[in-house]
Amino acid sequence: MGKMDIGMVGMAVMGSNLALNMADHGFDVACYNYTPDLTEKVLREHPHEHMHGFFDLREFVQSLKRPRRIMLLIMAGDPVDSMIDQLMPLLEEGDIILDGGNSFFEDTIRRQKKLADAGLHYFGVGISGGEKGARNGPCIMPGGDAATYEAVRPIYEAVAARAADGEPCCAYIGTDGAGHFVKMVHNGIEYADMQLIAEAYLLLKYAGGFTNERIAAAFRQWNQGELKSFLIGITADIFAEDDEDGGQVVDKILDSAGQKGTGRWTSIEALKRGVNTSLITAACNARVMSNLWDLRRGLGQRFAAVKAHEPLGDDFAEIVRKSLYVGKIAAYAQGFALYQAAASHYGWKLDFGRIAGIFRGGCIIQADFLERITEAFQSNAQLENLMEANFFAGKIQANLDSLREVVALGVKQGLPIPAMACAIEYIDSARAAHVGANLIQAQRDYFGAHTYNRVDKEGVFHHQWN
Ligand code: 6PG
């Protein structure tokens, strides 16, 4: 047996599917899992001439071509550090470890330094697309040393998804933690996108009186137009999925959402960088509120519930669609503003148009809409906010009244639609001549002599408030 092209540590869903994807492209993959059972299961269920099981870490490492390329698809956090510690004594100068999990980017920066000190290379590789993406073509966001990336590029470009124009949905993102950072914010945008869609559903169902069948039809239709995306497509499928006990599965699922934390990390990072990502934060908080099951039940009995309404016509669905589109623009504008702030803070040369370009395929937020983001950054690389790009400004202008109407309706009827509300508030704050900050400055100066600037004179002023 010749030497292996790449080693995959972690034979759970993501690792095994990505290994099979690599094997399908002719790469010999050494497979290892810290317990042998998963490796045995994968090889038994998916026998493949290019998949090779190893049950001893030293033999696994020694089976690899130099420089060794070892990909980790294991649980983020301590297991990654522990695996690095086990691998390091077995590796030789120039070998490469690639972490494909949802690791926190600061951990990636720390690990990269540690390996660099030992003459080894470390990559934080964002991977999106879930199980199917890993198997058939994910979106891949590698971060690490640019020159070393050439050693892994052929494998990643071969297995990545392809956009409609044939471009691989994989691009070198930047140094150290850049790949994992870009993946983290991708997930934050994913949270906002999903929350906006959930709010569109709430509006259609509870304000519009739409049945699941009508909701499925609306999403199916939306998926033919400017909202065309993976998430809208699966949402149409979900509303049409019958339950074996009658009705649709969606109505049998507990109204309480989980989260693993990448959206929360995005919000925390945005606060640190002074970037408003209110839609992402609203989406995190909406999941938190959804878990307050007892509180919701108790208060729901005390405060008037939303009244039932006569079913509204399809023109209502159109207003909701337009609102969703504007909400989506606001969410992506916030996510990309965070990319910009992070690029200058961490010294990453992020190519925003390219990032949107690789999101076009393989990942959870893949959407036609991303083409427009790439175009916006191509025509102006210094764009401060996506909302300033002519295309998006025009869309906001055309659809803002719909969003305003829908948010007002939701508020009137007591429907929680926080992401849409944040979208209108974000746009209003971004274009407002008056935001009341003069009063904030006066208060700060009053109680703390924090000083203020004036509209009519240059300089810094303090007033003797009485
Ligand atoms: C992806 C997903 C993936 C995963 C999220 C879900 O891009 O493939 O984002 O990373 O599904 O971890 O996150 P939550 O469990 O936090 O919703």
pLDDT in tens, 199-237: 999 999 999 999 999 999 999 999 999 999 999 999 999
- Which residues are tagged catalytic? 183, 190
CA distance 123 to 436: 46
Average pLDDT of the segment spanning 343-372: 96
The pair of structure tokens assigned to 178 is 């850049």
If one counts every other C-beta atom within 10 angstroms of the C-beta of residue 247, the result is: 10
CA distance 173 to 459: 42
| Pocket probe mutation, ligand 1, options 187, 195, 229, max atoms within 8 Å of Cβ | 187
Give the residue among 204, 200, 187, 364 at the shortest CA–CA distance from 284.
187
For residue range 373-399, what is the model confidence (pLDDT) as tens digits?
A: 999 999 998 899 999 999 999 999 999
Distances (CA, A) of 112 to 9, 99, 105, 126, 269: 18, 10, 10, 15, 20
The finding on whether 130 has its CB within 6 A of some atom of ligand 1 is yes
- Tokens 């190519």 belong to residue: 351
Would you say the C-alpha torsion 272, 278, 283, 285 has a positive or negative sign?
A: positive
Q: What distance in angstroms lies between residue 129's CA and the mean position of ligand 1's atoms?
A: 8
For residue range 47-95, what is the model confidence (pLDDT) as tens digits?
A: 999 999 999 999 999 999 999 999 999 999 999 999 999 999 999 999 9
pTM here is 0.96
If one counts every other C-beta atom within 10 angstroms of the C-beta of residue 246, the result is: 8
- pLDDT > 70: percent of the chain: 99
Q: Are 426 and 329 contacting, i.e. CB atoms less than 8 angstroms apart?
A: no
Average pLDDT of the segment spanning 397-403: 98
Q: What distance in angstroms lies between residue 187's CA and the mean position of ligand 1's atoms?
A: 6
Residues contacting residue 451 through CB under 8 Å, at least 6 positions apart: 445, 460, 461, 462
- Tokens 């076009």 belong to residue: 360
The finding on whether 108 has its CB within 6 A of some atom of ligand 1 is no
The per-residue pLDDT for 400 is 98
Q: What distance in angstroms lies between residue 11's CA and the mean position of ligand 1's atoms?
A: 18
Which ligand 1 atom sits closest to the C-alpha of 138?
A: 8
For residue range 103-123, what is the model confidence (pLDDT) as tens digits?
A: 999 999 999 999 999 999 999
Q: Which CATH topology does 437-466 take?
A: 1.20.5
Average pLDDT of the segment spanning 457-465: 98
Average pLDDT of the segment spanning 361-370: 94
Residues contacting residue 333 through CB under 8 Å, at least 6 positions apart: 385, 386, 387, 392, 426
Q: What distance in angstroms lies between residue 196's CA and the mean position of ligand 1's atoms?
A: 16
Q: Which amino acid is at 385?
A: N
Mean pLDDT of the chain: 96
CA distance 168 to 33: 29
The per-residue pLDDT for 446 is 98
Binding-site residues for substrate: 102, 128-130, 186-187, 191, 260, 287, 444, 450
Q: What distance in angstroms lies between residue 62's CA and the mean position of ligand 1's atoms?
A: 33
CA distance 325 to 232: 11
The per-residue pLDDT for 306 is 67
Q: What distance in angstroms lies between residue 280's CA and the mean position of ligand 1's atoms?
A: 14
The finding on whether 17 has its CB within 6 A of some atom of ligand 1 is no
Q: Which residues are paired to 30 by β-bridges? A: 7, 52
The finding on whether 129 has its CB within 6 A of some atom of ligand 1 is yes
Distances (CA, A) of 160 to 61, 80, 140: 25, 23, 6
Q: Write the class of the CATH domain 6-176.
A: alpha beta
Q: Which residues are paired to 122 by β-bridges? A: 97
Average pLDDT of the segment spanning 309-325: 93
| Pocket probe mutation, ligand 1, options 262, 355, 360, max atoms within 8 Å of Cβ | 262
- pLDDT > 90: percent of the chain: 96
Q: Are 3 and 64 contacting, i.e. CB atoms less than 8 angstroms apart?
A: yes
Residue with the bigger pLDDT between 169 and 466: it is 169
The per-residue pLDDT for 303 is 86
Which ligand 1 atom sits closest to the C-alpha of 259?
A: 16
Measured by CA distance, the residue closest to atom 4 of ligand 1 is 130
The per-residue pLDDT for 293 is 94
Measured by CA distance, the residue closest to atom 1 of ligand 1 is 128
Residue 179 clears pLDDT 90, i.e. is over it:
yes
| Pocket probe mutation, ligand 1, options 18, 102, 183, 284, max atoms within 8 Å of Cβ | 102
Measured by CA distance, the residue closest to atom 17 of ligand 1 is 259
Using pLDDT thresholds of 50, 70 and 90, give the confidence band for residue 308. Answer: low
Q: What distance in angstroms lies between residue 220's CA and the mean position of ligand 1's atoms?
A: 23
Binding-site residues for NADP(+): 10-15, 33-35, 74-76, 102
Measured by CA distance, the residue closest to atom 14 of ligand 1 is 259
Give the residue among 316, 185, 209 at the shortest CA–CA distance from 263.
185
Measured by CA distance, the residue closest to atom 7 of ligand 1 is 128
Q: Which residues are paired to 367 by β-bridges? A: 229
Query: What are the residue ranges spanned by the domains of the chain?
Result: 6-176, 183-431, 437-466
The finding on whether 349 has its CB within 6 A of some atom of ligand 1 is no
- CATH architecture of the domain with residue range 183-431: Orthogonal Bundle (1.10)
For residue range 6-32, what is the model confidence (pLDDT) as tens digits?
A: 999 999 999 999 999 999 999 999 999
Q: Are 130 and 230 contacting, i.e. CB atoms less than 8 angstroms apart?
A: no
The finding on whether 102 has its CB within 6 A of some atom of ligand 1 is yes
Using pLDDT thresholds of 50, 70 and 90, give the confidence band for residue 304. Answer: confident
Using pLDDT thresholds of 50, 70 and 90, give the confidence band for residue 311. Answer: confident
Using pLDDT thresholds of 50, 70 and 90, give the confidence band for residue 464. Answer: very high
